[in-house]
């Protein structure tokens, strides 16, 4: 399968799933998918993002060599929102190296606190920040404070994630 050609043809759930199955089959195929995802080409990044998150759901260890690049893409405000959304989606479950936890936590807080960020980005950022903060009452309190500022006007996805974080924070 030529991943670039498949990405150029269309964009659908079935296509993302087919690419994910193919790319999860070997580190070399996943490297090609990641090369496309990190290419900076707007449509290619957008269309490959979903497949990347699906591969990481299947094979979480494959993402480890790309953490520096993922964090850099999250810091890049010009990156396609689909890239941010799918990076944060995969970070909900993928192992996060300790050396990236601080930067990722700060990025998540910034995204949660940005009312112009897409709803899914903010919702996934709440989950990732809470995951990093587990066992740290001060960080959980910060997430509670930041999410609480936005609950009144928040969409359902953000309210649901915030309720989950507030519940976790209350248990500690």
**pTM of the entire predicted model:** 0.85
Q: What is the pLDDT of residues 51-106, one digit of tens each?
A: 999 999 999 999 999 999 999 999 999 888 888 998 999 999 899 999 999 999 99
**What gap in Å lies between CA 43 and CA 48, rounded to an integer?**
8
Domain boundaries, the chain: 1-95, 98-172
Confidence of residue 164 (pLDDT cuts 50, 70, 90): confident
């Amino acid at each position: 399968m030529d991943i670039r050609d498949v990405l150029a043809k269309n964009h659908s759930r079935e296509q993302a799933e087919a690419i994910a199955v193919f790319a999860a089959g070997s580190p070399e195929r996943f490297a090609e998918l990641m090369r496309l995802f990190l290419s900076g080409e707007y449509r290619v990044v957008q269309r490959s993002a979903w497949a990347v998150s699906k591969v990481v759901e299947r094979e979480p260890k494959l993402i480890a060599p790309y953490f520096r690049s993922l964090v850099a893409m999250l810091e890049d405000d010009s990156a396609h929102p689909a890239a941010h959304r799918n990076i944060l989606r995969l970070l909900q479950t993928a192992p996060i190296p300790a050396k990236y936890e601080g930067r990722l936590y700060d990025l998540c807080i910034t995204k949660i606190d940005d009312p112009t960020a897409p709803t899914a980005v903010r919702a996934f950022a709440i989950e990732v920040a809470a995951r990093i903060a587990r066992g740290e009452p001060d960080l959980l309190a910060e997430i509670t404070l930041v999410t609480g500022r936005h609950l009144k006007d928040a969409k359902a996805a953000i309210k649901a994630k915030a309720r989950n974080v507030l519940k976790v924070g209350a248990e500690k």
